[in-house]
């Protein structure tokens, strides 16, 4: 009996995007179209149905090919022109818990831990707050300080706020077509 030798096959790693996944990323990376049914419009542009597009997006999220799908409002256009990055010196043993607590506040747009750069920079937790004025941002930062004093007594040793003076980048990573 003669059997054919197995032919070598080129295969993608299980988590690698295929051509359609890549096309979906290219079609959506600059934002969804501002139409009543944006996913239907993207799907039509790709020549697939909306259900397939949504299934592909869910699969890419599950596989870690994309991290999130979300709305990113232009806060300047809606009147939020003051941007304050609050920086906090939080005890290292509770910084993760404090960060999760602060990051969950509805007026904090992003929150993350960063390494201290002693002796010049003592702060290890950063939380961005936007407002219609510097005073409004300062009030929100005072709200955070009060909440931390109540929920994590003594954990926060110092804080400052750094206000933006210019917009340097307003887009995320883009891949080429």
Domain presence at residue 53: yes
Residue 116: CATH number of its domain? 3.30.70.920
Residue-wise pLDDT for 146-167, tens only, equals 999 999 999 999 999 999 887 7
Residue-wise pLDDT for 25-44, tens only, equals 999 888 888 899 999 999 99
Domain presence at residue 175: no
Q: What is the pTM of this model?
A: 0.63
- The residue range of the domain holding 149 is 82-163
Domain boundary among 11, 36, 63: 63
Domain presence at residue 170: no
Q: Half-sphere exposure of residue 169, counting CA atoms within 13 Å on the CB side?
A: 4
CA dist., res. 47 & res. 33, Å (int): 16
| Secondary structure percentages of the chain, helix, strand, coil, to 5 | 35, 20, 45
Please give the distance of CA 17 from its chain centroid, rounded to a whole number: 21
CA dist., res. 83 & res. 64, Å (int): 30
Is the pLDDT at 82 greater than 90? The verdict is: no
Q: What average pLDDT does this structure show over 90-113?
A: 96
- Whether residue 56 sits in one domain with residue 94: no
Is the pLDDT at 73 greater than 80? The verdict is: no
Residue-wise pLDDT for 114-151, tens only, equals 999 999 999 999 999 999 999 999 999 999 999 999 99
Q: Are 141 and 84 in contact (CB under 8 A)?
A: yes
Which whole-number Å values give the CA distances from 26 to 30, 48, 176, in the listed order? 8, 15, 8
CA dist., res. 32 & res. 53, Å (int): 13
Residue-wise pLDDT for 50-64, tens only, equals 999 999 999 999 998
CA dist., res. 43 & res. 34, Å (int): 14
Domain presence at residue 115: yes
């Amino acid at each position: 009996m003669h059997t054919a030798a197995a032919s070598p096959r080129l295969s993608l790693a299980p988590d690698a995007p295929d051509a359609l996944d890549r096309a979906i990323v290219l079609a959506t990376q600059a934002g969804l179209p501002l139409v009543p049914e944006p996913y239907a419009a993207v799907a039509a542009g790709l020549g697939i149905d909306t259900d397939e597009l949504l299934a592909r997006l869910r699969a890419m999220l599950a596989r870690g090919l994309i991290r999130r799908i979300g709305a990113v409002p232009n806060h300047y256009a809606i009147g939020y022109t003051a941007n304050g990055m609050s920086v906090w010196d939080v005890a290292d043993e509770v910084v993760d818990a404090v960060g999760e607590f602060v990051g969950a506040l509805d007026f904090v747009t992003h929150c993350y831990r960063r390494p201290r750069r002693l002796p010049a920079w003592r702060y290890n937790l950063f939380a961005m707050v936007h407002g219609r004025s510097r005073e409004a941002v300062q009030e929100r930062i005072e709200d955070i300080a009060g909440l931390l004093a109540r929920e994590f007594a003594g954990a926060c040793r110092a804080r400052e706020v750094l206000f933006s003076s210019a917009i340097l980048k307003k887009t995320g990573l883009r891949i080429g077509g």
